[in-house]
Amino acid sequence: MLFKKSKLGKDNKGFSLVELLVAITISAIVAGGIGYLLTTSLRMYNKDTVDVTLQQELQITLNQIVDYAMESETIVADFDDTYPNYLALGTFESVSGTGVLDKTKLNAQIIWQDGNKLYIKKATIADFCLSADPENTHYREIDKSKIVPHIPAAGASSDANLLAQYVTEFKVTGIGGIVEVKDESGNVTGHAYENPLSIILELEFEKSVAAANKNKKVKDTAYLRNKVTNDIYVNVSGQSYQYCSLYEKNSVSVETTTVDMEKKAGILQIP
């Protein structure tokens, strides 16, 4: 009996070395492309996340400072580019159940930058003024020398007082409401302030991500709700007026200052 030779398996051979190398090369290219896309997407996601986080932290911090500023009844703004640069805000407490302010009790906040962090610390009228005694001639007069000792030396601020981090800039760029006091001859004899007062703030945050720096900067003006009667201290760029008292219309003449910031703030009042 004759048998035919089976042809099964005649074409059932494996991949050649060349085919295998080509397949591996293509797979590597595809995998590399997918990996690059994933890495790029992750990097962009991280950048966007940091961007959003910075914006949120910046806004929350600014809102908190603005809230303190809006309710304050006395101001110390000392930003002369030497540490510590700080903003101190005080609100007199009301007598429980009466709504009447107790001028001997001051709820104050001191805000300063140390390195890339922003700090806040509570203070009292004893930390702010020459005297809390209504019978004293220096009653409620601001004493800047009392405030500074409550701010730690540079690099020694405690995180217990931490308000924000990633801070590259915190400063007051102007106080709106400052006016020139002139004598009858028109000579400037000093500076005073009129209500309402405003505080112009600048705040900038920066954070490194993927070998790049992301930063956010904001400028805002806080208008004080309360009528300020206490002395204020102003020592910022373009406004080194030191101690200013409330303008008394019956005792001095007054004209607006030429500070552009104050004109833009739109709050100066000419009697």
Interstrand relation of 188-209 and 239-246 (parallel, antiparallel or unpaired):
parallel
Go through the chain and tell me how many residues it has. 271
Distance CA 47, CA 130 (A): 50
How many CA atoms does the CB half-sphere of 63 hold within 13 Å?
6
Burial 190-214 (b: 16+ CB within 10 A, else e): ebbbbeebbbbbbbbbebebeeeeb
Residue pLDDT tens, the chain, 271 long: 554 555 555 555 666 777 777 778 888 888 877 877 777 666 665 666 667 778 888 889 999 999 888 888 888 999 988 899 999 988 766 555 565 656 666 678 899 999 999 999 988 777 777 776 767 777 667 788 888 888 999 999 988 789 999 999 999 999 999 888 888 888 888 888 888 899 999 999 988 766 667 788 888 999 998 888 778 889 998 888 888 888 765 444 444 443 333 333 333 333 3
Contact 244, 178 (CB under 8 A): yes
Closest CA to 78 of 88, 89, 67, 66: 88
Instruction: Give the three-class secondary structure for 249.
Output: coil
56 — phi, psi (to 5°)? -65, -45
> CA gyration radius for the chain?
32
Helix residue spans in 108-249 (DSSP H):
144-147
CA distance 88 to 31: 58
Cα 41 to Cα 30, 46, 48, 111, 207: the distances in Å are 16, 9, 10, 39, 19
Contacts of 200 (CB under 8 A, 6+ apart): 172, 173, 174, 175, 176, 219, 220, 221, 261, 265
CA distance linking residue 228 with residue 256, whole number of Å? 18
pTM: 0.72
CA distances to 123, 210, 230 from 105, in Å = 10, 50, 13
